[in-house]
A and B are shown apart, each in its own frame.
Chain A
Amino acid sequence: MGSMTDLTAADGHRFQAYIAEPKGTPKGGIVVIQEIFGVNGHIRAVADGFAADGYYCVAPALFDRIERGVDLGYAGDDVAKGRALRGQMQWAPCMADVAIAVAAAGSAGRVGTVGYCYGGGVTWLAAAELPGLDASVGYYGGPWAELADRAPRCPAMLHFGARDSMIPVGLADELRAKHPGIVTHVYAADHGFNCDQRATYDATAATTARRRTLAFFEACL
C-alpha cells in the first residue's frame, strides 16, 4: 500500500521511512514508531491502517542508525536480535530521526505520534522533547519507567496491558500522578496485544485501544 522513502536527519544520517498516504485530503500526519522488530510487516500494516482512516503516515526506520533494513519476526533468534539492536540505540540520535519524520508528516497538517513497545517509549520522549507535536499515543512502552520523569508537552495517551510482565501495571498510576494531564488505559491483555502477529494478540483490547487512539487523534489533530 505505501512505500519506502529516504529521509536525512539534521546530523546528516540518511535513513528510510515507510510512507502510507490516505485517499483524499489528509486529516493530519501520524508518525508510527516501531517496536524492537524494526519497520516490519506489522508496523507497515499499522501505518496502512491509520492511512485508511485519513492520516498521512510516516514510519521511520530508527534501527538504521545501527543496521539498515531491519525487518524482524516475533520468534526465536529475531527476538534476541531485536533486543540486541534496541540495546545499542541512544536517545539523542533517535530523537533527531523522529524530528525529521515529524517534519515530513507535517506536510499533512498537525502531527501526532503513535509508538509500540520500544516505540511507546520513543513517542513518550518525543512528546517531552520535540516541538511541533500535537498528540502522542503509546502502547506498552518498555522504556516508560526509565523515562517516567519526562513531562509531555502535548496531549498524551498510554495503553497498558495488565498482564504485561515487562511493565508493572502500577506504572499507569505512577505516571498519572506525576503528569495529571495524561490519559491512561489498562487492558486485560499482555505485552504486544495490538500486534496480530504475536501470540499475545488480543482483538478486543486492540479494537478498543484503536478506537480510543483514533478519537484522540481526531480531537487533537
Chain B
Amino acid sequence: MQYFEDIAVGAARETGSHTFDAAAIIAFARQFDPQPFHIDPEAAQQSSFGGLVASGWHTAATVMRLLVDSAIDLEASLGSPGFDDLSWLKPVRPGDTIRARMTCLEKSPSKSRPGIGSARFRVEVFNQKGELVMAFTSIGLMRLRNPASQQE
C-alpha cells in the first residue's frame, strides 16, 4: 500500500502468483468450508464441478496474501471497510496458478477525518490460462503522506 497521494486512478498493480495443490485445498476447506466438493475428491468428481475445487474463500484469502506481498509500503494502510461485487467466475482446481491485478477506480480524501483518504480498487484474479476466476471491488483506507495538502 502506498500513501494516498501515490495512488493513481487507472493505474494497475500486478501481484505474484500462487499454485494450489489438492492437499492444501482440503486442509483449508476442512477448517473453513467443509463442503464435499472441497474435501472429498471422489464426491467432487460426482459433483457439478467434476473434480476437487478450492473454496472460494481459500482463493480470496490467497489473493489477499498476494496483494499484501506485492505492496510497496504497508505503513500507510488503515485496512478496509469492505468490498462489493465479489464474483467467483471459474473454479480453481489442484495445479491451477492464480495471480491478481488491482486497478484503482477512484479515490477521495475523507471529509470528516483529516489525514485519511479512501480509494476503490477493482481486483481481478486470473488463472494460468489467463481466464478470470474471481473479481471484486475493494475499498481501501490509507493515510495521506502530507495531511496539510488535503486543504488545497
- Identify the A interface with B (CB < 8 A): 110, 134, 155, 157, 180-183, 211-212, 215-216, 218-221
Binary per-residue interface labels of chain B (29-65) against chain A in the complex, 1 for a CB within 8 Å, 0 otherwise:
1110010100111110100000010000000000000
B132 contacts partner chain A, Cβ-Cβ < 8 Å: no
Report which of A110, A155, A211 forms a contact with B30, defined as CB distance below 8 A.
A155
Query: Is B42 within 8 A of A215, CB to CB?
Result: yes
Query: Is A219 within 8 A of B36, CB to CB?
Result: no
Task: For residue B62, give the distance in angstroms from its CB to the closest CB of chain A.
Answer: 18
Q: A155-B26, A155-B27, A181-B29 are in contact. Are A219 and B41 (CB under 8 A)?
A: yes
Residues of A within 8 A of B11 (CB): none
Task: For residue B99, give the distance in angstroms from its CB to the closest CB of chain A.
Answer: 24
The A interface is mostly helix, strand or loop, or mixed, namely mixed
Chain B residues 98 to 147 lying within 8 A of chain A, measured CB to CB, are none
Task: For residue A221, give the distance in angstroms from its CB to the closest CB of chain B.
Answer: 8
A180 to B35, CA, bound (A): 9
A55 to B39, CA, bound (A): 21
Query: Is A218 within 8 A of B30, CB to CB?
Result: no
Q: A212-B40, A212-B42 are in contact. Are A220 and B30 (CB under 8 A)?
A: no
Query: Is A218 within 8 A of B41, CB to CB?
Result: yes
